[in-house]
Amino acid sequence: MPSEPIFPFGQEIVWQPNAAWIAASNLQHFMQRHAIASYDELHARARDDIAWFWDAALADLGIEFYAPYTQVVDLSEGSEFPRWCVGGKLNIIHNCLDKWQTTPVRERIALRWEGEEGAVHTFTYAELHAEVNRCANALRKLGLGKGDAVALYMPMIPELAIAFLAIIKIGGVILPLFSGYGHGAVVTRLVDAGARAIVTAGGLLRRGAVVPMKPTIDAACADAPSVQHVIVVARAGAADTPMTPGRDHWWHELVPAQADVAATEITGAEDVLMIIYTSGTTGRPKGAVHTHCGFPVKAAQDMRHSMDLKPDDTIFWFTDMGWMMGPWLVFGALLNGACMVFYDGAPDYPAVDRVWSLVARHRITHLGISPTLIRSLKPHGAAPVQRYELSSLRAVCSTGSPWDPESWLWTFHTVLGGARPILNYSGGTEISGGILCGDLFRPLKPCAFSGPVVGMDADVVDEHGASVRGAVGELVIRQPWIGMTRGFWRDRERYLESYWGKLPGVWVHGDFAAIDADGLWYILGRSDDTIKVGGKRLGPAEVEAILNSHPAVRESAVIGAPHPLKDQEVVGFCVLREGVAPDEALRAALIDLVTAELGKPLKPRTVRFVRSLPKTRNAKVMHRVIRAAYLGLPLGDLSSLEHAETVAAIQQAW
């Protein structure tokens, strides 16, 4: 490993905590209730006694049980398979909606929705509760109930939130699917989970065009015999939607006619709530299993403690329900009694100021975006941002990919006025939220995380498991946490191999990370994307940040290609800014730039120019796909790939 990594060390502190914000924060109040004097003391106590911390976190969130748990956590089967809230009876929908109906919260806005076409709809907690009850009664009318898997293949419309919560209400298992999945990806997940029903839509709108969805479901059902019912929302393309008699049901004919009162199914705290599939490099996708007392609690705790979400706040994340940030948004907002925003559309349509208009129109306090989105908006300058009054923003939150310093600083100064923080957030589907996050208690440098979320016993280690500081290593978690996946659906060994196979008793997350001299943390990309040049380990983000600093480059991706003597060589792929023509002089300049920054031993083999990069629908660059396409290797699972033509773009790179 490099002993003095160049990126991102050397950045200066640009944001300092605000004493008044700390004093008013949820976490400061939590510390006061437990007579904890400092933030560092809180972290230490949470690490030393995980049962105490998660018991206290459940109480802080006001989580109510039908029957209390007798033990916070049971580790008798090892850290790999903890059991939480042992003996407790809990349906998390009670805490999301039911319990608020006898409080003033029932009149508070729970959901704000905006469609790309400009339509806006709001639901109070009382109104959302009534709609969820109607949908739950409709599902039960179809014979669905406890333990049944119901898939969601929908755009971000209100009916998606309603169906999501109704499945929980009846004790079912949520199976969220990316709205852009094709036939093969949908079939694989439906069959693996044994889905009995699907809620979908006629189509969705993207940049003013209708993208059909129902035909994909029709084709998938032919190969997924467990599916008995398809409920269809009359969204875009509904007029041309074919319906199969006996199987298909229009939402507007089935749901509104139901009663607005419905019983909540009593479930065990560790009953399966949701299966979210993540893509693997090879083989079938991995189904992360989550329970009623797991994923929702972790999501809400992250929002409450790290992001300081309060009941009068409004949080929005650019996401899809098939990405974990969709369920995370719903659970975290509702368990905290706050407001969530759904937006169904492109972030730059009909103009590049759509993001900022959403913030102003809905008075968003916490804006969740990806650095990739910022990199696409930044070239348009400050004018689209300054068109709107953004004083409601308390923070910009980010996840999905590593920042580069230029884009981070642009966001900090242009969007946040250099006064409010960027809460960088990183974790995963199997985590139920974040391992690391920004917070109000520690200063920030560009691209940095304040540190681990309270309750996450995270560390950065070398290949032997020893802690390292000031150098790049593996991100690990040394103790279980309540949101940890309960394993992969029907694939115990793959789960153990994925996270527990490298260091005994330690969760190895697969991210390349570092901690600097000031105690700030950095994620430098997936460790399985690590490039090894002459025995030196290099994170792609280190090289990408250098390439992105060149004024001709809009974005880049870097991989390692085999070399007979040096193990690997760096190969870069650059998307150029509009109006910039690729040529050999620019290629040489970029290679020289990287070489000057990293040294001659790490000089790239080449830099190639491409029209676009392969990305997931949540804007993560798929380095493994780039590497496979460049080297002519099998491409593996492409179900998360947003645009198939980007693979050909890599193969045809100049």
Regarding whether 558 and 507 lie in a shared domain, the answer is no
Domain that includes residue 595, residue range: 530-651
Regarding whether 562 and 536 lie in a shared domain, the answer is yes
Per-residue pLDDT band for 311 (boundaries 50, 70, 90) equals: very high
- How many structural domains is the chain composed of? 3
| Other beta carbons less than 10 A from residue 432's beta carbon | 29
SS (H, E, C) 350-361: CCCCHHHHHHHH
User: What DSSP string describes 533-601?
Assistant: ETTEEE-HHHHHHHHHTSTTEEEEEEEEEEETTTEEEEEEEEEEPTTPPP-HHHHHHHHHHHHHHH-GG
pTM recorded for the entire structure: 0.86
Domain assignment present for residue 116? The answer is no
Regarding whether 393 and 534 lie in a shared domain, the answer is no
Per-residue pLDDT band for 11 (boundaries 50, 70, 90) equals: confident
Regarding whether 534 and 506 lie in a shared domain, the answer is no
Mean pLDDT for the stretch of residues 156-181: 96
Are 575 and 556 spatial neighbours (Cβ–Cβ below 8 Å)?
Answer: yes
* Helices 39-48 and 26-33, packing angle to 10 deg: 60
Q: Which of 402 and 206 is assigned the larger pLDDT?
A: 206
The pLDDT of residue 417 is 97
For residue 191, the domain's CATH number is: 3.40.50.980
Domain assignment present for residue 112? The answer is no
Domain assignment present for residue 534? The answer is yes
Percent pLDDT > 90 in the chain is 78
pLDDT digits (tens, 9 = 90+) for 526-539: 776 778 776 566 77
User: What DSSP string describes 136-197?
Assistant: HHHHHHTT--TT-EEEEE--SSHHHHHHHHHHHHTT-EEEE--TT--HHHHHHHHHHHT--E
525, 551, 579: which is the final residue of a domain? 525
Per-residue pLDDT band for 2 (boundaries 50, 70, 90) equals: very low
Mean pLDDT for the stretch of residues 251-259: 97
Closest to 146 in 3D by CA, of 120, 113, 169, 125: 169
Dihedral Cα 289, 313, 205, 240, nearest 10 deg: 70
Regarding whether 146 and 62 lie in a shared domain, the answer is no
Domain assignment present for residue 39? The answer is yes
Q: Which of 401 and 573 is assigned the larger pLDDT?
A: 573
Q: Where are the beta strands (DSSP E) in 75-133?
A: 83-86, 109-115, 120-124
Regarding whether 543 and 519 lie in a shared domain, the answer is no
Closest to 132 in 3D by CA, of 269, 256, 312, 273: 256
Domain assignment present for residue 117? The answer is no
The pLDDT of residue 507 is 97
pLDDT digits (tens, 9 = 90+) for 334-358: 999 999 999 999 999 999 999 999 9
CA distance 484 to 289: 9
CA distance 218 to 359: 37
* Contact partners, residue 226, CB within 8 Å, separation at least 6: 190, 191, 194, 195, 196
Regarding whether 445 and 315 lie in a shared domain, the answer is yes
The pLDDT of residue 402 is 78
The region of weakest confidence among 240-244, 282-286, 294-298, 350-354 is: 282-286
For residue 462, the domain's CATH number is: 3.40.50.12780
Regarding whether 492 and 348 lie in a shared domain, the answer is yes
Regarding whether 535 and 493 lie in a shared domain, the answer is no
Regarding whether 540 and 511 lie in a shared domain, the answer is no
| Residue 468 DSSP SS3 | coil
